[in-house]
A = this chain, B = another copy of it.
């Protein structure tokens, strides 16, 4: 008999019929003898409906009251799912974040979990009940309702699994697992049986938005076995595990991630003096623009080109800032490019395999794809290329590293 924490997102509980389908799924686990804690999001559309009510009243609603408002979305779902479970003779009990006592800090709308009291859940589980917990919410020490920010239900599920030392935390989504790359781009993309937390974080941060990064980090930190499965069809999904020799696939590269949401900015001909990087980036971050990749090459003539990427939405703002900086630093000019894409190969196996980068660059070069920027981490190599080559690059790399085959 195992203890399983399951999480169902907004689409999975989007209608009363879907809530009934989730109840059937939960009951199957319960009937097979498992103890089950279910974490649910608000029915899809509900959170937006609530936010639009707030928008009609205030341009800048008080965060404390936003949390009181939007937390009702999940509360509705826990009540309905508990009813649906009891309707099919599966004893169940709903709990809000406050009722479990998911203690968070006081940062409304982006609170962080500090502690979870597991006693009330244990009590209900011992009484043979399925425990249905509202995701995304908690309370601070003064009993104020807090929310963890959008997508926070994944984090709730992982945190509950950690607190209860659950055997597995299952995240049900509208995809049936984590793929070697986006199947819409590469036909032969393959669902992975297993992936490491580190790989998952790199994949997630690059747009494979199956799971919230924060939830994956949390799961890694507390060694919670995490599984991504489909709400709508049966299957084993993908298990996200701790990196250990025995259970890892042997391939150097596990997957290809990509991202079209970035834009590239370059300050050309910057005098190469100490502290110049911060002089360029400080005005950018002062405008709350997040920077992703940064590349600087020292030239021979005491001048350098400084290049970085930002989210495409911030491109115009960043370009304007950069033009001011250009003048101030006496650089030659500020250039920019909106039509770029980032492609990355990800894999823990990279650590011990030499030549992975070379193989990547050669494969791209063979297709005549020019690499504009390169950035590497221990388990990832990212390149920036012209956006029009994105699909070609992803397919080429998927083939070059033979990802359609299990290793």
Contact = CB atoms under 8 A, between A and B. Distances in A.
B69 A53 contact: no
A20 B57 contact: yes
B79 A69 contact: yes
Nearest to A59: B87
Contacts of A79: 54, 65-66, 68-69
Given A65-B94, A76-B72, A57 B143 contact: no
A280 B286 CA distance: 84
B94 A57 contact: no
Nearest to A61: B83
Interface in A74-133: 75-76, 78-80, 82-84, 86-87, 93-94, 96, 98-99
Q: Please state the number of chain copies in the assembly.
A: 2
A58 interface: yes
Nearest to A15: B56
B76 A58 contact: no
A94 B80 contact: no
A16 interface: yes
A62 interface: yes
A157 interface: no
A80 B76 contact: no
A86 to B, nearest CB: 5
Contacts of A83: 54, 57-58, 61-62, 65-66, 69
A96 B137 CA distance: 15
A35 to B, nearest CB: 20
A68 B96 contact: yes
B76 A69 contact: yes
Nearest to A75: B72
A62 B76 contact: no
B96 A53 contact: no
A54 B64 CA distance: 29
A75 B68 contact: yes
A321 interface: no
Contacts of A78: 68
Contacts of A20: 57
Given A62-B83, A65-B86, 8 more contacts: A54-B83, A58-B84, A61-B83, A68-B78, A68-B79, A68-B96, A69-B80, A72-B72
28 contacts: A16-B53, A19-B57, A20-B57, A53-B76, A53-B80, A54-B79, A57-B87, A58-B84, A58-B86, A58-B87, A61-B83, A62-B86, A64-B93, A64-B94, A65-B80, A65-B83, A65-B94, A66-B79, A66-B83, A68-B75, A69-B76, A69-B80, A69-B83, A71-B75, A72-B72, A72-B75, A72-B76, A96-B145
Which 7 interchain pairs have the tightest Cβ spacing? Answer: A69-B79, A72-B72, A16-B56, A68-B79, A58-B87, A65-B79, A61-B83
